[in-house]
Structure 1
Amino acid sequence: MPKIVVIAHNIRSTFNVGSIFRTCEGFGVERLILSGYTPYPDLSLCREAPNCALIDGEITRDDQRLPHIREKITQQIHKTALGAESLVPFEYHEAPPLDELRQLGYRIAALEQAANSTNLRDYSAPDRIALLLGEEVDGIAPEWLALADDIIEIPMFGQKESFNVSVAAGIAL
């Protein structure tokens, strides 16, 4: 089974984050990296997932956010994660740690519609893959897309141009 890391960068919706947690748990994802302005749950919830509470590479359970903000975000994520947020090892970084992942042998695959993308059906995933997800409306910013090793796209057959980010994560996984 391949080693999979999911990177959720600049996801606005706590409900999408919760759904991504649940999907990652169901697929046995090694870890979930939340970055940019993506909301993240209370770090103390990580007690069941060893070494999961990482903030920019430092193991911590000392959440510095104001308690009422931390609690509200955690409750919203829990509505769709249903406990997966305490089972999936996660990290928070201001920027996706792509170089660190490459050094660990991961290939960075951005899930995005682009002129040079590969259809998901035709993509052969490597043994170690980091799946980069982007913002709900605008997708992955060009500067991050340029740093990806691969760009993969989910084919669309309806009238809408894209799937919800959490649904797209599930399809790609």
Structure 2
Amino acid sequence: MITSVQNDKVKNWKKLHKRKERKKTGSFLIEGFHLVEEAKKSNWDINEIIVQEDIDVPNWCESYQVTEVGENVFQYLSETQTPQGIAAVVSFQNQPAKLGNHVLLIDAVQDPGNLGTIIRTADAAGFDTIILGDGTVDVYNDKVIRATQGSIFHVPIIQQNLLEQIPNLKENGFSIWATALTNAVPYHKVVKQEKIALLLGNEGAGIKEDILQLADTIVTIPIYGNAESLNVSVAAGILMYHVKG
């Protein structure tokens, strides 16, 4: 059992909280029973399971390398307020895009909670693929992963340049719906096409102009009260369920 935070293994796990180290090792850290079980059920490669002393873990954990650590070590590694005492190191998975009929495009969403919630909602709404453009928060950020509630393991999530990918989607018959406030049509008044790629932008600045120009349709969600705008994850949910309906 590891009881010192100065242990080399512990130091390497701790480094996985930084994007640079995740890219270098091709792996990331997840925490909590639900996320570890979702990674296993979705057949992602679990390199190692980290368990706090005196925590009971499911029998299937015996199929993996399990390292027991002291409570002080787990507290040191944990990013949550009330740790459950189980974590895992998981390898990146190169998921091929499944274009299907509904794709979500994300341009520079930077709040981890927003991105995680969008991914969870896209999974619930049955979207086929999520493409993250430049400037978007790292999908393997701890807060993003927690907000997805395991959906990160269910939907192909790809990081690509949107200026390059949108023309490819158009060639594959997709209509690009972008969200913006100017020159926009209320979303429920637009005729739905069979294949729609929904494009959402940064929380403050919106979609970058050069990317917005590639859209076929600019849609907006009517505001009936006094709020200036909707949170991007709420807007994403409304529009995703609309195009799927």
Note if 1:108 corresponds to 2:176. yes
1:55-111, CA deviations, whole angstroms, 9 ceiling, x for partnerless residues? xxxxxxxxxxxxxxxxxx1x2112211000110111101334111111111111101
Match of 2:198, SS state, is strand
Match of 1:33, SS state, is strand
Give the CA deviation at 1:165: 0.5
* Cα distance in 2, alignment partners of residues 121 and 77 from structure 1: 30
- Superposed, 1:46-61 pairs within 5 Å as none
Give the aligned CA root-mean-square deviation in angstroms. Answer: 1.4
Name the aligned partner's letter for residue 112 of structure 1: A
Name the aligned partner's letter for residue 113 of structure 2: F
Higher relative contact order (CA 8 A, sep 6+): 1
| Number of equivalent positions | 140
* Cα distance in 2, alignment partners of residues 99 and 121 from structure 1: 25
Identity of aligned pairs, percent?
A: 32
Q: Which of the numbers 151, 154, 167 marks the counterpart of 2:218?
A: 151
Normalising by structure 2, we get a TM-score of 0.55
Give the CA deviation at 1:141: 2.0
Match of 1:132, SS state, is strand
* Cα distance in 2, alignment partners of residues 163 and 133 from structure 1: 12
Preserved CA contact (<8 Å) 1:109 1:151: yes
Q: Which of the numbers 148, 152, 157 marks the counterpart of 1:81?
A: 148
Q: Structure 2 regions of 5+ residues with no counterpart?
A: 1-99, 241-245
* Cα distance in 2, alignment partners of residues 79 and 156 from structure 1: 30
- Superposed, 1:87-102 pairs within 5 Å as 87-96=154-163, 97-102=165-170
Match of 2:104, SS state, is strand
Name the aligned partner's letter for residue 172 of structure 1: L
Question: Once structures 1 and 2 are overlaid, which stretch shifts more, 24-33 or 75-84?
Answer: 75-84
Name the aligned partner's letter for residue 126 of structure 2: G
Q: Structure 1 regions of 5+ residues with no counterpart?
A: 43-72
Preserved CA contact (<8 Å) 2:180 2:219: yes
- Per the alignment, residue 127 of structure 2 pairs with 29
1:101-153, CA deviations, whole angstroms, 9 ceiling, x for partnerless residues? 11111111101111x21111211221000000000011112222211000010
